[in-house]
Amino acid sequence: MQIVLNLANVQDWSGAVLVVGLLEDDLKEQLSNLEKLFEGLLLKNLDHQDFSAKSGEMACFQILKESSQKIVLVGMGTSNKLSLNELRKAVAIGARACIGTSGSLGMLFPWDKFDLELATRATCEAARLSLFQDLRFKSNKKESPKRPEKLELIGLEKASESCLKEINATCAGVELARELVGAPPNKLTPSSLAQTALEIANQYSLQCKILSQKECEKLNMGAYLAVAKGSDLKPNFIHLIYKSKEPIKHRLVLIGKGLTFDSGGYNLKVGASQIDMMKFDMGGSAAVLGAARTIGELCPIEVEVHFLIAACENMINGSAIHPGDIVNASNGTSIEINNTDAEGRLTLADALVYACKLEPDEIVDLATLTGACVIALGDQIAGLWTDNDELANNLLDAANEAGEGLWRMPMHNSYKEGLKSTFADIKNTGPRAGGSITAALFLKEFVQASIPWAHIDIAGTVWAEKDRGLDPAGATGYGVRTLINWVINRKNK
C-alpha cells in the first residue's frame, strides 16, 4: 500500500473511500463542518443510523456526489479518553470497512489532538498492517476481495516525508516477520531462515555470518546443538551485523529464539500443548529479522546492532536427546535436560554466551519461551524480565510508543532453587508454578552480570487466534516495532 500526504483540503479530495474519525464531545459541530462537503446528504443519511461517535462505532454509506464515493465515519469516544491506541483502533476499523474497494483511501482524523509524528505513525501503521493479508500459499490469489492500493492522509501538512519513509520501512519489517512466522515448517527451515538473513544482508549492505553445525561444535555450543540432534535438518547459527558509518556510541545485541518447529522432543507435547501451532516457535527470530530489515533500510546513526539466531528444529529420532541427558553449554555450564520441551532456553543459552563475547552495551532477547507466560498475560501482552531498571524503562517506553503490550515481571533469585540439579550445575526445567520466571532465571545464568540484559517472552503475543481488528488473525509480527523504537530512540538517550 502506497502512503502519501495530501495537502489539499478535504473539499478538493476525490477518491474511492473517505474515512473520517469523529469525537463524541462536539459531534454536531464536526458533522456540520463536514456537511459543507456533502451538500446536505451527510446528515440525511446519518438520520437513519444510530451514530454518536462512541469508541468503535461506525457508520458507512454511499454519497452519490460527482463520483460514486463511499464515506465511513468512525467514532473515537470522548477527547478526555483519547489515546494513540484509540486512534489506531479507529483507523483499523475504517480501513477494514474499505475491503472490497480498490483505488484511493482518504483519511481525515483529529491528528492535531496528538503529537503529529506519533499520530502519523499510528495512523499509517494501523491502516497498512490491519489490511495485511498473506496469500502466498493460496493457489487462487484473485479470490480474495479487493483492497485500496493507496492511503492519503488529508490535510496532514506538518508530517514529513522522512516520517513516511520510516513508517514504510517499519511496516515492511512487521510484514516480513508476519510472513516468516506464518510460513509452514516444511517451508521455513533453519537454512531458509539463514537464507532470509543473507538476503537482508545483501539488500541493505549488512554483514552476515552463518555458522554451520561444525563451527558451532568448535565453539562448544553443546546446549544449542543438543536440541538440533533429533532433526534431519542441520542447525544454522545466524549472525547479522548493522554498523552505522559514524563513530559507534552503542553496541547492541538482539537475539531471537529460532525453533522452526518444536515437537517437544521425547517429553512430547500432548493434549492442549498446541503442537500444531509450533511453527510459530521462531517468532523471536522473525521479530529480530524484521527489525534488521527496517534498521538496514533506515540506517540509524551511531549504533552497531548484532542480530543473533540459533536456528534449529526440536524433533524426535534415534539421535534425539533423551530426557535426563547432561550437556555442556559454551560457557562450560553443565545442564541436565529434565524436559526436552524446554528447548528454547537451551538454544538461547549458547546464543547469550556468544552475545557476551561481543562485549555489547546491552542485550535483548525475544522468545516464544513458555506456555506459563501465556497463562499469566494472555495474547496481547508480552512479559519482560530484567534486573536493569533503565533498560526495563527504555523497553517499556519503546513498546508503549509502538502500541505493543509489554509488562515487567519479577525475577526473584530465590526461584532459582527450582533449577537445582543433583548431577549437573543446573536443570533446564523447574516446577510448573512460576514457569516463566524460572525460564528467565535459567537464561540469566548465561549472561555476564556486568552486561545489561532483558528477556521478552512473546509466547502469547506472537499469534492472534482470531482477528483483532488491528492484527488480522495469524502472525502478529509482535516485537518488531518495539525493537526498532528501542534501537532508534537510543541515540537520543
Q: Which is nearer to Mg ion, 46 or 233 (CB)?
A: 233
If one asks whether residue 457 binds Mg ion (CB under 5 A), the answer comes out as no
Catalytic positions: 269, 345
- Considering only the stretches 47-55, 70-78, 101-109, 337-345, report the one whose residues sit in contact with ligand BES under the rule CB under 6 A: 337-345
Q: Which is nearer to ligand BES, 344 or 452 (CB)?
A: 344
How far is residue 268's CA from residue 264's CA, in Å, rounded to a whole number? Answer: 5
CB 335 within 8 A of CB 426: yes
Kindly tell me which residue out of 335, 355, 372, 447 binds ligand BES, with binding defined by CB under 6 A: 372
- Considering only the stretches 19-27, 232-240, 281-289, 299-307, report the one whose residues sit in contact with Zn ion under the rule CB under 5 A: 281-289
Give residue for cell 539466531.
309
- Considering only the stretches 51-59, 182-190, 340-348, 385-393, report the one whose residues sit in contact with ligand BES under the rule CB under 6 A: 340-348
How far is residue 417's CA from residue 297's CA, in Å, rounded to a whole number? Answer: 45
If one asks whether residue 341 binds Mg ion (CB under 5 A), the answer comes out as yes
Question: Smallest Cα–Cα separation from 353: which of 243, 236, 444?
Answer: 444
If one asks whether residue 262 binds Zn ion (CB under 5 A), the answer comes out as yes
Which amino acid appears at position 35 of this protein?
A: E
How far is residue 374's CA from residue 380's CA, in Å, rounded to a whole number? Answer: 9
How far is residue 300's CA from residue 40's CA, in Å, rounded to a whole number? Answer: 50
CB 462 within 8 A of CB 283: yes
Kindly tell me which residue out of 435, 452, 474, 477 binds ligand BES, with binding defined by CB under 6 A: 435
- What minimum distance in Å lies between the beta carbon of 336 and ligand BES? 13
Spatial neighbors of 140 by CB under 8 A, at least 6 apart, are none
DSSP 143: G
Q: What x-and-dash track marks residues 162-191 binding ligand BES by CB under 6 A?
A: ------------------------------
CB 258 within 8 A of CB 196: no
How far is residue 315's CA from residue 226's CA, in Å, rounded to a whole number? Answer: 11
How far is residue 464's CA from residue 466's CA, in Å, rounded to a whole number? Answer: 5
CB 78 within 8 A of CB 25: yes
Kindly tell me which residue out of 341, 401, 445, 471 binds ligand BES, with binding defined by CB under 6 A: 341
Q: What x-and-dash track marks residues 81-120 binding ligand BES by CB under 6 A?
A: ----------------------------------------
Kindly tell me which residue out of 125, 166, 179, 281 binds Zn ion, with binding defined by CB under 5 A: 281
Q: What x-and-dash track marks residues 294-333 binding Zn ion by CB under 5 A?
A: ----------------------------------------
Binding site for ligand BES (CB under 6 A): 262, 274, 281, 339, 341-344, 368-372, 374, 429, 435, 459
Give the footprint of Mg ion on this chain (CB under 5 A).
Answer: 262, 341, 343
